[in-house]
Structure 1
Amino acid sequence: MPEVIFPGPDGRLEGRYQPGKTKTAPIGIVLHPHPRFGGTMNNQIVYRLFYMFQERGFTALRFNFRGVGRSQGFFDHGVGELSDAAAALDWVQTLHPDARGVWIAGFSFGAWIGMQLLMRRPEAEGFMSIAPQPNIYDFSFLAPCPSSGLIIHGENDRVAPPEAVQTLVDKLKSQKGIVIDQQIVKGANHFFEGQVDELIGNCSDYLEKRLAEVEA
């Protein structure tokens, strides 16, 4: 799992990168929670999602947003972080121009950035939005949502209340041409404390289902 430093819009960005074994391996990029609340690319859920992609043959990348770890720059309330995510994806796509598609996974704040990145990237085949916070962040840009994906959140999430997430899911499910898979982890809080294995298992099952559909 090589440490990498690559150029971002506001200085160098620090990441962890694992190339796929084939020239056409799809790309999986994972985005971490809020930098002001301790979010880094080494968050347990981000780390596990990275390995989930890697174990399924993806080229996997996770990285620190600006101002986190060895990444240069300063927190920019989502605007700069979206630019960071776009630069990170540009960087890995430059290394893997024949990659057959992209998957975007984000947790909490990273889910908001990930969904915005999704809107900019028509090559994105799918997404995983873990504990998104539509009660805090504006998701109205999803008009329409460009690809099918998974929204997964905790039953006892007080940071992103289930009813707020449900409103977002219902809005997206009304769109034609995409399928939104919603999963609620029973008893889980925003950080899935004690239930990370269940969370990652659900994400893995969803990814395998989608990959099997492509191959069928």
Structure 2
Amino acid sequence: MPEVIFPGPEGRLEGRFQPAPRPRAPVAMILHPHPHSGGTMNNAIVQALYKTFVRRGFAVLRFNFRGVGKSQGVFDNGIGELSDAASALDWVQSIHPEAEQTWVAGFSFGAWIGMQLLMRRPEVRGFISIAPPANMYDFTFLAPCPSSGIIVQGEADEVVTPIAVQKLVDKLRTQRHITIAHETIPGANHFFQNEMPELMKTVDDYLDFRLDPSCPIR
């Protein structure tokens, strides 16, 4: 996972990038939790998501938002971080302009940024949102949500209330032309500290389903 530095809206951004192993391979970008809560691209869930996409032959990028690690700039309450994510996706696509599909995955704050990015980037075909902070941020921008994906929540999440996530899922499921999967991991807290295997099995099962050529969701 080579270290990369690429241009962002407020200066350089630091990341780790796995190039694609074949022409037209799909690309994926992984977004980390809130910087003020210690979130970085080295978060355990971010790294696990990165590795599962690498194993599947994707070109994969995880990076630090502005003001984190070697990334320049200062925290911007999500506005600048969304611009960072758009710039990061631009950078990946400049290396792999013929990617057959694009995925975005995020954890907590990163899930909120990732779902906003869906609205800007119609080429995103799938998303993985882990513990999206539906009780902290406004998700009404998903009107309509342009892509199918999965939302995963911990049953004992002490940061993001499961009922808020359920309301978000219920709202998204009223929309046509997309399919929203929703899984709750029993006993898991916000960081899935003791349930990482269960979390990643849920993610991997969903990716197995979506990436199967016979999958009805495209």
Scaled by the length of structure 2, what TM-score is found?
Answer: 0.97
2:175 aligned partner: 175
- In the other structure, the counterpart of 2:53 is 53
Instruction: Confirm or deny: 8 A CA contact 2:28 2:60 kept in the other structure.
Output: yes
Long gaps (5+) in structure 2: none
- Taking every aligned residue pair, what percent have the same amino acid on both sides? 63
Q: Which runs of 5+ in 1 are unaligned?
A: none
- Where 1:100 maps in the other structure, the secondary structure is coil
Amino acid at match of 1:142: L
Once the two structures are TM-superposed, the CA of residue 46 in structure 1 deviates from its matched residue by 0.1
Task: Look up the equivalent residue of 2:210 and give its one-letter code.
Answer: R
State the aligned residue count: 216
Distance in structure 2 (CA, Å) of the matches to 1:90 and 1:67 = 20
Name the structure 1 match of 2:108: 108
Match of 1:119, SS state, is helix
Residues 55/103 of structure 1: CA separation in 2 closer, same or farther (3 Å cut): same
2:124 corresponds in structure 1 to 124
Structure 1: how far apart are the matches of 2:8 and 2:23? 25
Alignment correspondent of 2:24: 24
Partner of 2:97: 97
Q: Deviations over 1:162-209 (max 9, x none)?
A: 100000000000101100000000000111011111111110110111
CA drift at 1:124 = 0.6
Q: Distance in 2 between matches of 1:85 and 1:210?
A: 23
* Runs of at least 4 residues off by over 3 Å: 213-216
Q: TM-score, normalised by structure 1?
A: 0.98
Correspondence for 1:184: 184
Given that 2:209 and 2:215 are in contact with CA atoms closer than 8 Å, whether structure 1 keeps it comes out as: no
2:71 corresponds in structure 1 to 71
Between the aligned partners of 1:183 and 1:119, the Cα distance in structure 2 is 23
Match of 2:212 in 1: 212
> SS of the counterpart of 2:176?
coil
